[in-house]
Structure 1
C-alpha cells in the first residue's frame, strides 16, 4: 500500500477533502484507512488537522486549537487515541465560529 510505504519512509501525510470520491460529509472515513495503513490514531488526526493545514499554506491560521487560530471544534464520545471511530461516528456536538451547531 502506497500510504504505508510513505508513512514508513517518514513522509508527512495530509488528509484531504476528497468529497468528490467519498461523498460530502463522508470524508472523515479516510481516518480509518490511514490507521489501517499503519498510522496511529493520533498520526491520522494530525494528518487531517495539522498536516492538512500546512499542505495548503495555512498552518499558521488553522489546524491547531490555539490563541490566534481559527478553529471549529467537535466534541466526541469515546477516546479517539484508542479508537479512531470515535471521531468518525461519535460526534456529539459541533461548534463553528463560536456557535453551537444543531445537527
Structure 2
C-alpha cells in the first residue's frame, strides 16, 4: 500500500519512527538510534528501505537489550 500511495519505503519508515515520535513530543527519547535514546530494534530479512515488504520478515526483536526470536 505504501508504494500504491506513492510514498517511498524510506519515507514510510521515517513516518513510523522519527516523525511519529515527534508528533507525540517524544523526539528526545525515541524515534532514532542514537546515544542516550531508548530503542527497540528489529532485524529483518532484506532491505526495507528498498522493499517495504521486508518488514514482514522479522528475524528477531531486541527490546530493552534482550533478543527475542520467533522459533
TM-score normalized by structure 2?
A: 0.90
Matched, 1:101 2:62: no
RMSD: 1.1
Which is greater in Rg?
1
Find runs of 4+ consecutive structure 1 residues off by over 6 angstroms: none
Deviation (angstroms), 1:82: 1.5
Matched positions, count: 70
Q: Which residue of the partner structure matches residue 39 of structure 1?
A: 7
Unmatched segments (≥5 aa) in structure 2: none
Say which SS state the counterpart of residue 42 (structure 1) adopts: helix
Q: Residues 35 and 44 of structure 1 are in contact (CA less than 8 Å); yes or no, is this contact kept in structure 2?
A: no
Q: Residues 40 and 62 of structure 2 are in contact (CA less than 8 Å); yes or no, is this contact kept in structure 1?
A: yes
Q: Which residue of the partner structure matches residue 22 of structure 1?
A: none
